[in-house]
Each structure stands twice: as C-alpha cells, then as structure tokens.
Structure 1
C-alpha cells in the first residue's frame, strides 16, 4: 500500500493522492492509505466505516467544527498521472481529481496532522461514493449508523469553490416523464401510436421553461430544469410504444422536497411523471457566529453554490455548512481538470488561520 507523508506540502500531497486512482467504487487503496496515516496521529481518535475515515480531536473545546471531503472521482480519461503545467503564467496541477476534490482533501489531511491544539474541536471526514447514487454515499451510510459524528456547530466541505466561500447549495431532483403509444410495424405506422412523437410537447415545455433566480438569506440561487437523457424504441422497424425523458431540476434551498416535486408535476401536467431521485438543498447558514468568524478569517465574500453538495447532509442535522476548497468548479469532471497551485496554498492558509487564530 502506498504511504502518505503528511509532512509533505499540500501541493505534493495533492499529487500523491491524485496519482492513486479512486474512481467511485474503487476507493479502498486510498482509504487504506488515509486510515494508516491519520491512525498514527496520537491527537486524533480514528473511526472507519467501509471506505469512510473519521478522525476527531477531543480537547473539550466549547465548539466543534466538521470538515469533510470525498475521496472518490469520476472515471479517468487519460488524465492520470498528474502533471505540472503553466496556464496564463500561473503554475497548475493537471489531472483527474485535482479539482474535484483531492486538492481540498490534501489540505485537510495536512492540517489534520499538524493541528494538534486547534481553538475548536475538529471532526475530519474523508468519505467514499460521492460521485454516484446518494444511497451509496459514505456520509449517507454514516448518518444512519453514527449520527453522533455529525454533531457540530459549523461544517465545511472542501468542494471546489475557486478558493472562495460558497454558502449552502441547490437541491436536485431527477424525474422520468413518460409517453406511451402502441407498437406496430413501421411499414404500417398508422396501425400504431408513436410514443417518441408524443414526447415532442415535453421537449417543447422544457425549451420554453424560464428558470427562476431566488434570493435565500442574501444569496441568489439560479434554478434549472433540463432534459438530460431520452430513450425509446426497441427496433428500427417497430413503432415505439414507450418514450422516457429524464429531467433534472436544480432548485433553490428555500424549496422543500414536496414543493420541488410538485413543481415538476405542474410543469408536466397531463403527462406521466415519476420522481426517481430527490435531495433537498441547504440554506447558506452564514448568520451563524462561527460562519461569520470564518468569513472574516479567510477574507471571502460568500457566493451561492449552484450544484448540490454534501453540505445538505449537515444542514439536515441542523449544522450550518459552506463549501470552501481550491479549484474552479467549472472544471470539475472536465478532462482538462486542473488546479492553480496558489489556490491550494491559499485555502490551507485560510483554514489554518481560522482554526488556530493565527
């Protein structure tokens, strides 16, 4: 098993863990390395659940902060191993996971090793299966088996945010809109009913849809409703009797699950609609005292998080949470994924300053 040297710089740690492939479902090698590295630190109590590692200080501080990062990536596409490149005169690290989100994980590992006497107690979480169905997510599993580990006054997810602070997150919903017809030989199409043709009004409604921008606690979240997949038909000479359009609704964190689902049903009124996945968002939570101290320490102006992230899992436990990590979220999952080295250093300095008052 490759060893992690937690005395290395955050940049070097990023290189090391990005060069250890950990596509969702194949995180064990990296999880083993993290477990071995943090398990050797006397100031941390370490707990493991599958490929999720939790390490906690227990100093009796008045407040506790949870800091989390996922260790899996989307599939590799010729972008491992990493390499150093220069973009517009600035050094970057290129490769899968550099943005989403192993640079953030590297910063967390570095600080977990060095901060034996922080001003708050810290729960560090490194978890598996974030990039796939939420039921597989390591935090989902942990929230069921060890909800006590989520007790905190404030939480930070190391999701890429360009080194800025992104509060809360949008919710996300997936639904299948179905149209049905009657099968027939395509040479005698008039005998059947074409389910794919019947889906045309579904696409027309999506094309005409105007997404809302909604202010939530001072941050404006942009919504979106889009077709992301479509399928129908069984053969090239058969009139299809079923067409399914999968839609994805990104909704502001002011909406609950029932309201979001009802909105999708309303948009596609008259069609068969099945909601197949739904995760509510998280309000910004930036009015919490620790959040205000954090913003001041890192010198950041808060922004909304448009995508769904695991801050929502902490929000469900009543813990205000933000996203704060190196990397441009526009490059997450991109084949040209790359992170500026300066952002890795900046995020490390910001977190260190806040956690130590120095």
Structure 2
C-alpha cells in the first residue's frame, strides 16, 4: 500500500522543529522527479509544488508541516495492530496525503498547490509558512487552504484566539517576621488568583459550533529568600477565546482583571479565525465523508491564513490526542479514509 509506505518513509527521516533540512532535501529530490505545472520553489527548508494550473476552478493550497514537536521523537515509526506508531506517525500523516496527491493525481477542476513548510510548531510568527506566504505572491492569491493536521478525520473549522500576558505585581521587601514593614507582592496577586481560579469557561457559539473562553495561570516567578517578604511577582496568564472576541477585547479583559493592583505586559497576541461554514468548498468538504465537524479550540495556521483573507480549515487522519507524544498514532483505516475524503472533495469540484 503506497500510502503506508509513504508515511513510514517520511517518519524514517528525523525532522524536529528547526532541523528539517534533511527531510526538505529528500522531498525536494522526490518532487523534482514528478511532473508539476511549473518549477518547484524552495524557501529555506520549505517547498512549494504547483501541481495543476489553468483548470478554471478555485486556487487551492494543500498545506503540511515537516517538523515534529517532541525533540525525543527519533527512530522512525512502526506498524502494530493496523496502526502506525512512533515519531511523526500523526504529524506527518498530512504530508503522506500530499505526496499521494502528487503521485496519483486524482482528477480535480482546481489549481492545486502543495506547501510543505518547516517550523510548524513555532507558531505563525516563528513558522517558515509566514516567510513562504510573504515571499510567494502567487500563494497569497489562493481561494482556499486545507491545512492537513491530525484531527482524526474530523473537519475542524475556525481557530481559537490566544493572548499570553505577564501580570507583574510590585511590593516592598521586609523581614518575613515583620510583614507589616513591607508589602507582599504575592499577596497582592491573591485577589486576582481567586478570580482566575473561579473563572468558568464561557461558550461562544458561531455557525452552530462552540468555542470556550478560558483563563489559566501557566507560570509564576517571584520571591527572594525564605525570610524575605517578596517585592515582586510575575505571572503568565493564557487567555483563549472564540471568533466573537478579538485580541483588543482580550487585552481589555486582562487589564480589568488586574485593575490597579498590578501591571500587564502582553507577550503574544493571536487573533481567532471564523469558521466560514457556509463557504462552498468547506460545505463540500463537510459532505465528503469527514468524521464530524467541530470547532478548533486552539490556535492553528488557519488563523494565519484568515489574516491574509484566505479561508482555511484543519483536517487529517492522525490521532489528535497523540500529537507531541513519544508515540504518535495514525490508524491505517483512517489514512485510507482521508484519501477517500480528498478524492470525493476533488470530485465535487469537477
């Protein structure tokens, strides 16, 4: 089975984030030997393969990342109980489908371009996908992007927004046996912490899909010594939200949370993406055999494409729950199902 062979071949080549050159070189050679609509283009360790042109149909990008997140993932993958297990087994399942499309060339009335990009686990700002989109003008004219991520073949629409903020609390040192002589920065955070601990996820329903607004403390750094009242504390808060909220509103909510007790420094702002469920290509994909439709709660490249006014979705055969794990998993049956989903979707464009 060529699909399985391709996935095992991809997993055999190590590609932790930032170390994708070997896999990019191998793919470069393999794609260069196949018939393309125009020359293969390379940006750093990312590749753009124009598969078809002049169809008169929509301009569609198939997008997959070369890297895996877990630095301990090495040694390739293996087949056990009709599953592919190991380094990249889920993350690279999308690349496997992209190779399959290039090699089989299923009939489709669309201008298809494949984008194999490096540093996919580094966020849109750190990903080479951003560089590729900035340097390749043709890609920015795309009508749609299918981002092949592990989703258990569920069609994931939209993308949650995300804000990382550092909350800073200042105090005054004193001996901890005489706390009244100082101001305890950690105690100043107590009111804010009680609010965060009591925060219940708030639903945001768009196009029949539900996102949840959450706030979580993810790290805290402060204090000096066991007998010193702390004069400083910095806390990272991660605020996630659905398409009805934007980063400006997120910033306002975090500033209101701190009020005048502390200061806020915004570290990372990621806008959400709408689900676009009524878009013709998304509606057709929903009818092509996917295993359900759901809201994408966390940030994904779909939001980066939305910023470029390109509708996009996430879909792929890999087991989402195993992403970043030591043993990623893709069921062989789901790999075959994904191939059939793409074939039916392509047929709907003819």
The match for 1:4 is none
| Distance in 2 separating the partners of 1:102 and 1:355 | 21
Q: Does 1:20 align with 2:10?
A: no
**TM-score with structure 2 length normalisation?**
0.91
The match for 1:169 is 159
The match for 1:35 is 28
**Structure 1 pair 192–85 and aligned structure 2 pair: CA distance change class (3 A):** farther
Q: Does 1:291 align with 2:282?
A: yes
| Distance in 2 separating the partners of 1:343 and 1:322 | 18
The match for 1:53 is 47
| Distance in 1 separating the partners of 2:3 and 2:119 | 23
Superposition pairs for residues 151-230 of structure 1, below 5 Å?
A: 151-184=141-174, 191-230=181-220
Q: Could you report, residue by residue, the CA deviation over 1:99-144 in whole angstroms, capped at 9, with x for unpaired residues?
A: 2x21111111221222175321111111111212432211222232
Superposition pairs for residues 60-99 of structure 1, below 5 Å?
A: 60-62=54-56, 63-77=58-72, 80-86=75-81, 91-99=82-90
Q: Mind listing any 5+ residue stretches in structure 1 that lack a counterpart?
A: 1-7
Please report how far the alpha carbon of residue 82 of structure 1 lies from its aligned counterpart in structure 2 after TM superposition.
Answer: 2.0
**TM-score with structure 1 length normalisation?**
0.89
Q: 1:241 aligns with which of 226, 231, 238?
A: 231
Retained in 2: the 8 A contact 1:38–1:113? no
How many residue pairs match? The answer is 346
| Distance in 2 separating the partners of 1:78 and 1:289 | 39
| Distance in 2 separating the partners of 1:78 and 1:283 | 33
Aligned-residue CA RMSD (Å): 2.2
Which stretch shifts more, 39-48 or 181-190? 181-190
The match for 1:142 is 132
Q: Does 1:313 align with 2:307?
A: no
SS across alignment from 2:142: coil
Please report how far the alpha carbon of residue 301 of structure 1 lies from its aligned counterpart in structure 2 after TM superposition.
Answer: 3.4
SS across alignment from 2:71: coil
| Distance in 2 separating the partners of 1:116 and 1:163 | 19
Please report how far the alpha carbon of residue 231 of structure 1 lies from its aligned counterpart in structure 2 after TM superposition.
Answer: 1.2
Which stretch shifts more, 319-328 or 144-153? 144-153
Retained in 2: the 8 A contact 1:11–1:103? no
Q: Could you report, residue by residue, the CA deviation over 1:41-93 in whole angstroms, capped at 9, with x for unpaired residues?
A: 2224311111111111342122111110111111233664323333xxxx222
Retained in 1: the 8 A contact 2:95–2:116? yes
SS across alignment from 2:287: helix
The match for 1:281 is 272
Q: Could you report, residue by residue, the CA deviation over 1:245-270 in whole angstroms, capped at 9, with x for unpaired residues?
A: 11111110222221222222223323
| Distance in 1 separating the partners of 2:80 and 2:121 | 26
SS across alignment from 1:297: coil
Please report how far the alpha carbon of residue 233 of structure 1 lies from its aligned counterpart in structure 2 after TM superposition.
Answer: 2.9
| Distance in 2 separating the partners of 1:9 and 1:236 | 62
| Distance in 2 separating the partners of 1:185 and 1:148 | 65
Please report how far the alpha carbon of residue 221 of structure 1 lies from its aligned counterpart in structure 2 after TM superposition.
Answer: 1.2
Please report how far the alpha carbon of residue 192 of structure 1 lies from its aligned counterpart in structure 2 after TM superposition.
Answer: 3.5
Q: Mind listing any 5+ residue stretches in structure 2 that lack a counterpart?
A: none
**Structure 1 pair 352–235 and aligned structure 2 pair: CA distance change class (3 A):** farther
Retained in 2: the 8 A contact 1:38–1:44? no
Please report how far the alpha carbon of residue 28 of structure 1 lies from its aligned counterpart in structure 2 after TM superposition.
Answer: 1.0
Which stretch shifts more, 111-120 or 20-29? 111-120
Q: Does 1:130 align with 2:120?
A: yes
Please report how far the alpha carbon of residue 331 of structure 1 lies from its aligned counterpart in structure 2 after TM superposition.
Answer: 2.1
The match for 1:5 is none
**Structure 1 pair 110–262 and aligned structure 2 pair: CA distance change class (3 A):** same
